[in-house]
Amino acid sequence: MSTASQLNDKQLEAMKYTQGPLLVLAGAGSGKTSVITRKIAHLVQNCGIPAYKITAMTFTNKAAREMKERVAKLLSREEAKGLSVSTFHTFGLNLLRLELKHTPLKNNFSILDADDCKRILMDLMHRDNLSGAESKDLIAKAMKKISDWKNDLIAPEQAHSTCETPEDVQFAHLYQLYERNLRAYNAVDFDDLIVMPTRLLQENAEVRDKWQNRVRYLLVDEYQDTNTAQYILVKLLVGVMGQFTAVGDDDQSIYAWRGAKPENMAQLKEDFHNLKVIKLEQNYRSTSRILKAANSVIENNPHIFDKKLWSDKGHGEAIRVITCRNDDDEAERVVKDLLTHKLMQGKSWKDYAILYRGNFQARVLETQLRQMQIPYKLSGGQSFFARAEIKDVMSYLRLIINPEDDSAFLRIINTPKRAIGPVTLEKLGLFAQETHQSLLAAAGDQRLSLSLPKKATSQLLEFYEFLDGFTRNLLEDDEPVPIIRQMMNEAGYIDYIKEQAATPAQEKTKLDNIEVLYSSIQSLINRAEDVDDKNIESVIRKMVLLDMLEQQQEEQDTDKVNLMTLHAAKGLEFPYVYMIGLEEEILPHKNSIAAETVEEERRLMYVGITRARQGLTMTLAEQRKAGGQMKQMMPSRFLDELPQDDLDWLGRKKKISNVDPKLQAQHYLENLRALIKR
């Protein structure tokens, strides 16, 4: 298949343009992935750029995986050799590993997750006797502020000059301590994977030249989601030559709360005067009516670049708006409507998606779906491996198979509490750095008594010996699960769960989850065909991988109704979409109304509308339960921005219907007969 086949004129122009910087404004459903993947093939096959000199970046592992698979179909294995397709964070991690000697990090540095980082902040607040160390909200706020500073490339020592409130001053102080701690632990957080490579390229001309040579052509997907650090990283990689293609849609920028800056698209015009802009406006997904509604809503936002989606998929069904009495009535009507539609049209469950602004809206829906015995899947729910108790037990096991795993050490050294304070840990971190060993090895080092008080030294040594004893037992025994169970009991972890649980139900859930983990380990051992695969090391490595596999399984095509937030729906499409809760203070969200950021909510509405291929139904409730009270609701302002002639507003306006009622009844009977015959 030729690289250019199946592309429309604008897509083809975007694929072939390689003379300078290019911004591809890709509307929803306009085939942007095809353009990026075919452009990579074009660069290799027709422009003489070897694959190892090409880098493509996106935001999610799923998008990177899809891009890799599609490129693999266009290039031979030889042609694709060395091609880099990854997320921004994976790219940053690889750069750090390759340039380690130019960074403050040493080998085996750990990547801390959000829980690890929150724990460090909590410890720091305790150590400084700062009020609010027990407040989860305050710690989350501090994390967000530090993350924003990092992503804006503001160093700890510069943060004070940006403070506007006493709380900011407190957070700036915390930021300095937090960074010092991360370096002492030889660890990085998620933001560092972008920020550290960006700073390195900014400050080190030799490294910058090397990487600009290495990346002859750069392709960036979902460009509207980049933050300041990512934008500067891109600029530093492409240099003055500006050999890049950025693909994005400012109308689908819905991650401002994560630091995304849609204005980065306008910034490209400022920084690259020879920037070419190509608009992809043909949509391959939705009917004209759905696109007219999307265009009509988004027109109310200010635009740097104008574009209008169009499609040749026909006029399509009217968009239905259903006013419901309350949230229970809304859930009941949506579920019954979906069921009737499925019976009449003979569709699959997976053809339907119900989208909402906040996760709380899913609860009533789930009750209704279960009552009707309709299979559904809830996207964005917590993964089994993301639960605190599973992460804790896994950290004990991770440290046993890799004593160098400092992030696992930091997670469990005080879980349960062992009277090893943050000051002790900081000194341990510095000692480990000076003696070039892991935190666990340092805890068992006799020389530690020269740096730490006797009590702290003996606490650390006790932990080291405890783990060392179980490590030997586990690696030598053919039946590791009873030993793991004994280890968690002797560590005091099971008692800790019982003490920490807020309710008996929560305690039971957590203990049941731990039992499920033990059973999973046992079944992996039982299923292993090779003797080498039965050992605890390979089993734990498989368990670590299982988390990723579990997430991939969720993406598999099962026949279930899809329930998800509007944020989670971005990038997906469904034949029939229900958008629920079209009310002021829900969509647009009350926080956005207060902060005057309704434009982002309007983009969320636009994302929701453009998920639908054939049918779109919107619902709103006149009253909604809030804190045990019934609250009167106002219809969303976005409903007024829709083209009113294309709406079938049930219970309010004359119905627009393209379907003959006799034909409809005939369809219904045929589908019922087909079901009975099964």
Catalytically active residues are: 32-33, 221-222, 252, 611
In whole angstroms, give the CA distance from residue 392 to residue 405.
13
Q: Hey, what are 674's tokens?
A: 């087909």
Burial 528-566 (b: 16+ CB within 10 A, else e): eeeeeebbbebbbebbeebbeeeeeeeeeeeebbbbbbb
Q: Are strands 376-378 and 561-565 parallel, antiparallel or unpaired?
A: parallel
> How far from chain centre, in Å, is Cα 27?
21
Please state whether the peptide bond connecting residue 588 to the residue before it is cis, i.e. omega within 30 degrees of 0.
yes
Helix axes 228-238, 88-98, angle to 10 degrees: 60
Beta bridge partners of 67: none
Closest CA to 261 of 230, 292, 236, 291: 230
Contact by Cβ (8 Å): 347, 384: no
Extract the runs of DSSP E, i.e. beta strands, from 249-382: 276-280, 319-324, 352-356, 376-378
Beta bridge partners of 56: 85, 219
In whole angstroms, give the CA distance from residue 259 to residue 521.
39
In whole angstroms, give the CA distance from residue 394 to residue 390.
6
> Which residues, including other chains, have CB under 8 Å from residue 370's CB and lie 6 or more apart?
none
In whole angstroms, give the CA distance from residue 604 to residue 253.
8
Q: Hey, what are 379's tokens?
A: 């996207």
- Please count the other Cβ atoms lying within 10 Å of the Cβ belonging to residue 6: 12
Specify the DSSP class assigned to residue 100: G
* Helix, strand or coil, per DSSP, at residue 675: helix
Alpha helices in 501-535 (DSSP H): 504-527
Amino acid at the residue 381:
G
End-to-end CA distance of the chain: 41
Amino acid at the residue 217:
Y
Number of H helices, E strands in the chain: 29, 17
Beta bridge partners of 219: 56, 245
Alpha-carbon distances, residue 349 vs 28, 464, 568 (angstroms)? 24, 53, 19
- Please count the other Cβ atoms lying within 10 Å of the Cβ belonging to residue 455: 11
Alpha helices in 346-453 (DSSP H): 362-371, 388-401, 406-412, 422-434, 439-443
Closest CA to 364 of 322, 405, 324, 320: 324
Q: Which helix (H) or strand (E) holds 579?
A: strand 574-579
Contact by Cβ (8 Å): 43, 18: yes
**Alpha-carbon torsion (360, 361, 362, 364), positive or negative:** positive
Contact by Cβ (8 Å): 201, 236: yes
Cα angle for residues 160, 166, 169 (degrees, 5° grid): 25
